[in-house]
Amino acid sequence: MGILAEAGGQLALLRAGVSWAGFHAWLHRPTRRRVIHDATPVTAIETRFRAGDRT
C-alpha cells in the first residue's frame, strides 16, 4: 500500500460523499454493545456445531 492506494481510497470516499475524517472516525470507533451481544449466541452455536460432528 502506498500513496496511490491511499489516493484511490480517498477518491472512492469522495465519490461516496464521505469525508476522510468521518471514515477514519467510523473505522476506529469502539465495538457497540449490540454487536457484542449478537455475537455471543453465534459463538455458542458454532461451538456446539463443531463439537457435535457438525450435524
Could you list the pLDDT tens digit for every one of the 55 residues in the chain?
A: 443 445 566 777 777 787 888 888 888 899 999 988 888 888 888 888 888 877 6
Helix axes 3-16, 20-27, angle to 10 degrees: 100
55 secondary structure, DSSP code: -
Provide the pLDDT for residue 30.
92
The C-alpha cell 452455536 sits at 45
Provide the pLDDT for residue 37.
87
Provide the pLDDT for residue 55.
64
Residue 49 main-chain phi, psi, to 5 deg: -65, -45
Cα 28-30-36 angle, rounded to 5 deg: 135
